[in-house]
Amino acid sequence: MTVKKSPAFYVLLALLNVSLSGCGFFFGDDGVFRNRENDYLMADNIPPLALDENLDKSALGELYPIPPITESDFGYEADPENNEIPRPLPLSANMLEESVKIQRLGQQTWILMNVAPGEVWPRVRHFLNVNGLAVASADISSGVIETDWIQFKTDLSTYDKYRIQIDQGVQPETSEIHIVHLSVPTGATPPAPVTWPQASVNAEKEKWLLDELAATLASDTTEGGTSLLAQSIGGSTKANLGILRNEPVMRLKLDRARALGTLSHAVKQEGFSPYESDAATGTFYVHYRKIDPEGPGWFSRKWSGIRNAKWVTAIFGQPEEERIRLKSPYTLEELTANLPQGAALDQAPLSNRKKEQTLPDAPGYLVIVSGEEGNLTVRVRDPYGKRLEPRKAREMLTILRKNLI
């Protein structure tokens, strides 16, 4: 028996054939709507327009010149096969909402704001004027304000004076306000010029002004505006990423005590867990776990709430954070005893842990601080002091910088 195919069958067959090839027609490499994201890599340079020497060429200059980008620029490697645009560093902890915090690190206390110094300067001046604290001197280029000698009604035994230092913060687009207090007995003649101590003479009176200023700045963000002259206060950011001898590094424009304190905080934050640290040598032995840029998923968030339960520990073992502290078979002292020193450390080869014979299979990484006071260099190395792959070192230093305070 012969089956007779209707015309509808052939129409359906033709439509099926067109549908199977339709995606390639519209979205393939040669399709109408092909992906054009890499077309600029094939573009040719057009020679500039040539004009007669007697004509004015100023109107034909580059309006928006683009500087050349090379592999030495931190955080970017020119790779035509993987042209992923690097994400910019965050300007501040929260760009949409201003925050004012009193930050404490060791014996140091300061006000931290996520706005530029140019916005902080006029608001501090306004605070001093409203509260009747006369200004003896104000150097906008250095961000220093000194009050006149004052006397507290609750303490007539001394004359008091304050030095307020507005400076760039460790993070981009942040500001720090440091306050130093000085006092002399009422019967003594105040010194001129004033020699300011490293720490306040009276910590309670420093705390009073710090608290009052922080409360005012946090409650009222409308006064003062922005000072164009104060935009250069503090120079560049205190923590910068760069390249030193073809190795990614982080430079800190901080005193050594502050640098070690903020790094000690940073290696306990996102992405890092500390094994040990040695402030004398400026070395931190840490574990690093790569951060998921998308954040934890639904199951991860649910699991994090119950993973510390006793029955979970009994079945699955200890959480990662607890296992990390038990994992390293070597102490920091053992590792640093075998580190290269001086020029040998600077010129150390790339890491190859499998070939290490001394202290084999050491886990983790070393964060090494070196340099002079106010100009410190931070490197990330393997436990043997060898260099990491540049991409890995950049990744870790970027997270470390984000964790600084």
pLDDT for residue 92 = 47
Burial 207-246 (b: 16+ CB within 10 A, else e): eebbeebbebbeeeeeebeebeebeebbeebbbebeeeee
pLDDT for residue 94 = 45
Residues 297 and 271 in one domain: yes
Contact 159, 186 (CB under 8 A): yes
Residues 247 and 216 in one domain: no
CA distances 123 to 118, 207, 209, 221, Å, are: 9, 19, 15, 8
Select from 35, 124, 251 the least CA-distant residue to 135: 124
Residues 222 and 256 in one domain: no
54 assigned to some structural domain: no
Residues 199 and 342 in one domain: no
Residues 195 and 296 in one domain: no
Q: Residue 343: enclosing H or E segment and its boundaries? A: helix 343-346
Contact 269, 403 (CB under 8 A): yes
pLDDT for residue 72 = 45
Residues 151 and 251 in one domain: no
Residues 362 and 325 in one domain: yes
Rounded CA separation 213/109 (Å): 13
314 assigned to some structural domain: yes
pLDDT for residue 195 = 92
Of the residues 190, 217, 232, the one at which a domain ends: 232
Contact 161, 149 (CB under 8 A): yes
pLDDT for residue 3 = 55
Residues 397 and 249 in one domain: yes
Select from 164, 114, 173, 115 the least CA-distant residue to 142: 164
Element counts in the chain: helices (H) and strands (E): 10, 13
Residues 318 and 215 in one domain: no
Contact 51, 57 (CB under 8 A): yes
Residues 168 and 243 in one domain: no
Task: Say which CATH number the domain at 290 has.
Answer: 3.30.310.170
pLDDT for residue 173 = 84
Q: What is the mean pLDDT of each run of 10 residues along the chain (405 residues)?
A: 63 67 61 73 76 75 64 50 55 59 91 91 94 94 94 92 95 92 92 91 96 93 63 79 93 94 94 93 94 60 54 52 65 94 92 93 96 94 96 94 93
Residues 207 and 278 in one domain: no
List, in sequence order, every residue forming a beta bridge with 379; answer none if it has no partner.
368
- What would the two tokens of residue 389 be? 């792959």
25 assigned to some structural domain: no
| pTM given for the model | 0.71
CA distances 375 to 106, 130, 208, 278, 329, Å, are: 20, 38, 32, 19, 34
9 assigned to some structural domain: no
349 assigned to some structural domain: yes
Q: Could you list the residue range(s) of the whole structural domain that residue 197 is in? A: 100-232
* Count of domains forming the chain: 2
324 assigned to some structural domain: yes
Task: Say which CATH number the domain at 158 has.
Answer: 3.30.530.50
Contact 286, 365 (CB under 8 A): yes
Contacts of 70 (CB under 8 A, 6+ apart): 78
Of the residues 181, 197, 232, the one at which a domain ends: 232
Of the residues 197, 232, 267, the one at which a domain ends: 232
Residues 265 and 378 in one domain: yes
Contact 157, 76 (CB under 8 A): no
11 assigned to some structural domain: no
Sheet holding 365-372, edge to edge: 239-244, 247-252, 375-381, 365-372, 283-288, 272-278
55 assigned to some structural domain: no
